[in-house]
Structure formats: structure tokens, C-alpha cells
Structure 1
């Protein structure tokens, strides 16, 4: 009998999805959410420039974590936690955005 050499197909595909499109989606959301909690700096634009500069690093960390961690569940949990926290920050910011009807009535 020949033993299987490698992970089952379901784990392999979930790892591929977490390392590929999952890492890109989480990177974009984290990058957008970082603008809300980073300080503005002297010129007032550091909170916009720093996420753009750090985007490749964020993607690389998520990609290599998805490729190298033994537990696919842990990879998914960390990616989901990042996605939910920064997505929640963005949703909270957009929910408090003044509407155009209120602005026009001033």
C-alpha cells in the first residue's frame, strides 16, 4: 500500500485561497483601515502614505504565514481577525459619515 504524500485536497485549496486572493483582500482592507488609526504626522499625510508603503510587507507576511504555518485554521483565524477589525473600523467610519441630505439643509 502506498501512503499519501501531502495534505488532503481540501486543505491544499484552502491554503491556496488564503495565500492568494485571501492575502490580497486582507491587505487591501488592512491598508484602508490603517489610515484611521495611524497619526497624521507633521504634514498630515503620514497616515495615508505609510499604509501604501507597508502594503507589500503586509501582503508578504500574510502570504508566507499562509504558506508556512502548519495549521490552516490558525491562518484563517488570524486573517479573519484582521479583516473583521479593520473592516469594522471602516464600517464605523462610513456609518458616521454625514449624509448629503443633511449637508444640503445647512
Structure 2
């Protein structure tokens, strides 16, 4: 009997950090930055409601992406760049 070993277990700790704490932090930051890039309406309530309603979807995408991505470097790069871009958007909106 031949046992096939996959390389997934080797990267399990890195995937844990990407899919665990980083996914939660990224989804919270995206939720905080989303009123800045959502279209403006007369009623500003939509800017507060849509991020709260979409938070489970945002979190699930941030959680499953590093688990399903084949390249761990690409998952790290995409999630880190999303985090930096949304933080920069928040910081620039606060100071400008």
C-alpha cells in the first residue's frame, strides 16, 4: 500500500495564522473601511448597515481564501496588501 503525503501539513501553522487571527483582523478593517468606498446616498444609515450585514461574508472569504489557495506566498501577499490598503484608506480619511 502506498501512502501519498501532501505538502499541506508542512504549511499548516502558517495557514492557521492566515486563516485565524489575520482573517479576523482583515475582515474588521475591511468592515471599518467599507463606508468610505460604498456609494453615498441621502440616508447615511446604509453606510453603517451594509458593512455590518456583509461582515459574515467578508469574514468567510478572508477565512477560506488562505485555506483554499495553493500558493501560500500569494495568499500572504494578497491578504497583507488588502490589510495595508484598507488601513491606509482609513488613515488618510481621518487626516484629510
TM-score class normalised by the smaller sequence: 0.7 to 0.9
Pick the structure with greater CA Rg: 1
Unpaired runs of 5+ in structure 2? none
- 2:55 alignment partner in structure 1: 55
Task: Kindly report which structure 2 residues correspond to 1:7-18, keeping only aligned pairs within 5 A, or say none.
Answer: 7=7, 11-18=11-18
Report which stretch shifted further, 59-68 or 33-42: 33-42
- 1:40 alignment partner in structure 2: 40
Offset at residue 23 of structure 1 (A): 0.4
- 1:80 alignment partner in structure 2: 80
TM-score normalised by structure 1 residue count: 0.78
Runs of 4+ with deviation above 4 angstroms: none
Unpaired runs of 5+ in structure 1? 97-106
1:36-59 CA-to-partner distances (Å, cap 9, x unmatched) read: 111232422111111111111011
Offset at residue 28 of structure 1 (A): 0.4
Compute the RMSD of aligned alpha carbons: 2.0
Larger relative contact order (Cα-Cα within 8 Å, sequence gap ≥ 6): 2
